[in-house]
Structure 1
Amino acid sequence: MPTGVAIHDAREQLFVAAERVLLRDGPSALTSRAVTTEAGCAKGVLHRRFADFDAFLAELVLDRVARIDARTAALRGRAGTGSVADNLTEALTDVFESVAVAIVGLVISRDGLRARLRRTTPTGIPVLMEAAAMIASYLAAERDLHRIAATADIDTLAPTLIGTGHLLFADRKGTPPEAAAVRRAVASVIAGVVREP
């Protein structure tokens, strides 16, 4: 690889390459060489920007977490429109059809990465915790609009929905679940609290 060629937005290029390797080959195949080869750049490009490979992976995870955080306002803004089940189905599909399932596998498989991420996410698994917070925020907005029962235990419903979504989408190599299957699961979880006509 030539080392004198300037790479525009190398950080994002490396992140996208890491996602491709992760999605295609899984967490065990994710190495600095695999990432730089996929990105079409010299290995030194990664090591000049990050202290080590776990620092790179931590930044990748945090960047993807920030993307979920950005979706929170959009989902919350949908409160009062459409059906609660449809909004949740779309939100879960959006999260889990992305790289989230692969990121969870990566975090679980690398002790050094998990240790670094504990600085910002002291409990739980990054990505899943933020996704649960996104769902909880939406459910709270729907409860304020009386489309969810005032007695609904949002702190239990949100992680239940995330766990359900994760299980539905967990087979990285298989066919993703159909929207109808995701909606059925969502409807079952929220059946006792939805107050829509």
Structure 2
Amino acid sequence: MGMKKKLGMSVVTASLGLSLIGGGTFAYFSDTETTNNTFAAGTLDLSVDPQKIIDISNLKPGDTMVREFKLTNDGSLKIDTVNLLTDYTLVDAQGDNGSADLGKHIRVNFLFNWDKESEPVFQTTLHELKNMDPDIVQKEVWDPLWEQKGGLTTGTMNELWVEFEFVDNGEDQNVFQGDQLEVEWKFNATQGEGAEK
């Protein structure tokens, strides 16, 4: 074979080798597995029963009203804290209240149960409750109630009693005749710290 022929064969062989390396196929074993994963967030769902804790008329100084309400965890996560936010609007029937605030004369007593010997676990006025840090009730009322449970677990319920008292201060309170307080209680539930799953 001539030199030109040998050189030509070498070039063809080299080209064929390069094409196999660059674009050729290789046979090997393989196996594929697929996992289907889910991240589902839990729910916080606090319910209060009844929705209207108190609706009373014809109050006079010295009257007391005891009402029961239930806090229930209807969600899938444990409720760690419940803050109580209080707001109210005074409807001044006579328009002569000036700076007098009926909320300062309504005492709120939180009770764990109701009987004749029941002592309030926390006592304040509507006015003070409206202006205090909302986690005060958590620390003073819910924490002792949930001390053993560490919160309100899923599907559980706690009964609480609250006593409202129109305090008779022994002075002229005529300025409050016909007045009305529209009170909003907002219960704000929060979860505990995250945990390793």
Please say which structure displays the higher CA radius of gyration: 2
- For CA contacts below 8 A with separation 6 or more, give which structure has more relative contact order: 2
